[in-house]
């Protein structure tokens, strides 16, 4: 089944194979690879194709231009996409489908991060199995600066990865972490100087693509079972997130972002 075509359907996502590696690259450099709707939509289709392609052993996500992996959601779409209730739901469903698709993909996934990895970028990275980053990378989850609801699945991935103490630190403060701190707390696996990042990535793609596929597949799946959350009140989580999106603070957060000013939140 080799030689499958991996056209993504949008010029804002590049996809190509290199040996046993499928590369998926977010290509919106003018906006620091902020994720627009078409970019979210492109991911599940590419992964579905890769799942059935025995020639693909590992998938690498990266960002075009070297300045950013993903700088978040493309917030200029929010006035249209996220303002109305129905649109919020649609955008959330699209993002969730893409992130869930990455997390549940049966083969190993690597996020190769150079530069900004913010908000939705962190969500993409922590949905992957392994994260390598350049020393000039920056990480943050600015949800509390925007007043938006943060998904249960993303919160679980973050907590599973760095533990509740670091997850709360990152989430409550919305502060920026440099690559050294991200490495120390386990948000990323390895870091390299920018010029050595490709070599570090190659070390991983080579090791993984030459390992026994069924052993890797079993290991990935079993770790997922180990991390399952039993008996969580998902309805409560959904309602809490909905409350954020239906709040006046969310409208204020979005407006302040557009107007490049500090938001004034009221807790309503």
DSSP 81-141: HTTSHHHHHHHHHHHHHHHHHHHH-SS-EEEEE-SEEETHHHHHHHHSSEEEEETT-EEE-
Average pLDDT of the residues of the chain: 92
User: Is the predicted pLDDT of residue 79 greater than 80, yes or no?
Assistant: no
Strand partners, 15: 24
Which residue's entry shows tokens 């103490």?
165
pLDDT level of residue 84 (50, 70, 90 thresholds): low
d(CA 118, CA 226): 28
Query: What's the per-residue H, E or C state across 214-247?
Result: HHHHHHHHHHHHHCCCCCCCHHHHHHHHHHHHCC
**Model confidence pLDDT, tens digit, residues 191-237:** 999 999 999 999 999 999 999 999 999 999 999 999 887 888 989 99
Q: What is the largest CA-CA distance in the chain?
A: 56
The pair phi, psi for residue 15, each rounded to 5°, is -140, 135
d(CA 138, CA 144): 18
CATH (one of 3.40.140.10, 3.40.50.300, 3.90.226.10, 3.40.50.1240) for 13-226: 3.90.226.10
For residue 121, give the nearest of 94, 99, 103, 145 by alpha carbon: 99
Q: Which residue has the higher pLDDT, 167 or 232?
A: 167
CB-based burial, 205-216: b 16+ in 10 Å, e otherwise: beebbeeebeeb
Residue 37, pLDDT score = 87
Q: Roughly what angle, to the nearest 10 degrees, separates helices 152-173 and 120-127?
A: 130
Q: Which residue has the higher pLDDT, 1 or 35?
A: 35
142 by DSSP, 3-state: which? coil
User: Is the predicted pLDDT of residue 1 greater than 50, yes or no?
Assistant: no
163 by DSSP, 3-state: which? helix
């Amino acid at each position: 089944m080799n030689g499958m075509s991996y056209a993504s359907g949008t010029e804002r996502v590049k996809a190509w194979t290199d040996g046993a590696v499928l590369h998926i690259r977010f290509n919106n450099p003018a906006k620091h690879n902020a994720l627009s709707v078409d970019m979210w939509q492109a991911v599940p289709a590419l992964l579905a194709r890769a799942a059935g392609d025995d020639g693909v052993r590992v998938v690498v996500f990266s960002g075009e231009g070297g300045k950013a992996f993903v700088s978040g959601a493309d917030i200029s779409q929010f006035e249209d996409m996220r303002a109305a209730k129905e649109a919020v739901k649609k955008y959330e469903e699209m993002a969730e489908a893409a992130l869930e698709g990455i997390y549940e993909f049966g083969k190993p996934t690597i996020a190769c991060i150079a530069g900004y990895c913010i908000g939705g970028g962190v969500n993409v990275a922590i949905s992957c199995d392994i994260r390598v980053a350049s020393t000039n990378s920056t990480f943050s989850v600015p949800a509390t600066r925007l007043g938006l609801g943060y998904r249960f699945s993303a919160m679980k991935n973050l907590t599973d990865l760095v533990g509740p103490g670091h997850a709360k630190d990152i989430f409550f403060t919305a502060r920026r972490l440099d690559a050294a701190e991200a490495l120390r707390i386990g948000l990323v696996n390895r870091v390299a100087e920018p010029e050595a990042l490709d070599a570090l990535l190659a070390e991983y793609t080579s090791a993984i693509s030459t390992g026994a596929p069924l052993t890797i597949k079993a290991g990935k799946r079993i770790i997922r079972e180990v991390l399952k959350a039993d008996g969580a009140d998902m309805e409560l989580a959904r309602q809490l997130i909905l409350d954020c999106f239906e709040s006046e603070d969310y409208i204020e957060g979005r407006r302040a972002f557009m107007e490049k000013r500090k938001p004034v939140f009221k807790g309503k």
